[in-house]
Amino acid sequence: EVQLLESGGDLVQPGGSLRLSCAASGFTFSSYSMSWVRQAPGKGLEWVSAISGSGDRIYYADSVKGRFTISRDNSRNTLYLQMNSLRAADTALYYCAKFGMGASGSFSHFDYWGQGTLVIVSS
């Protein structure tokens, strides 16, 4: 059974930093691209970042580019999101999501999600 367990969410001041973790189990972690998706309180889903299975391809949403860094440790089956220069607008529930492989062999969708970890940016 695929399980994704996020941790690291906290209350942090504007301009501060935080590192989120996502412990994965139930699948061959290194074979799948992974992603972070967030949801601000009362708002919709927003894609944040994605990383390939080997970690050699990384992508970010414009809203976090230059401030957030996604990484993974395949030996520990863990995904990370280093968040710097945090803003109030970054307040959200952060989900870790596994990519699923579509019919064409591309990672085209998110087939498993964790329960999320809450980040609150406030003074």
Partner 1 sequence: QSALTQPASVSGSPGQSITISCTGTSSDVGGYDYVSWYQEPPGKAPKLMIYDVSNRPSGVSNRFSGSKSGNTASLTISGLQAEDETDYYCSSYTRSNTYVFGTGTKVTVL
Identify which range of 12-20, 23-31, 54-62, 71-79 contacts partner 1 by CB under 8 A.
54-62
Q: Binders of partner 1: how many residues, by CB under 8 A?
A: 27
Residue 98 bridge partners (DSSP): 34, 112
Asked if 37 touches partner 1 (CB under 8 A), the answer is yes
Q: Which parts of 82-101 interact with partner 1 (CB under 8 A)? A: 95, 100
With contact defined as beta carbons under 8 Å apart, do 6 and 117 qualify?
yes
Choose, by CB under 8 A, the member of 22, 24, 35, 119 that binds partner 1: 35
d(CA 119, CA 25): 23
**Least distance to partner 1, CB of residue 65, Å:** 10
Least CB distance to partner 1 at residue 123 (A) = 28
68 binds partner 1 (CB under 8 A): no
Residue for token pair 């504007």: 14
First-to-last alpha carbon distance for the chain, in angstroms, is 40
* DSSP per residue, 63-103: TTTTTEEEEEETTTTEEEEEE-S--GGG-EEEEEEEEEE-T
Site of interaction with partner 1 (CB under 8 A): 35, 37, 44-47, 50, 59-63, 95, 100, 102-104, 106, 108-116
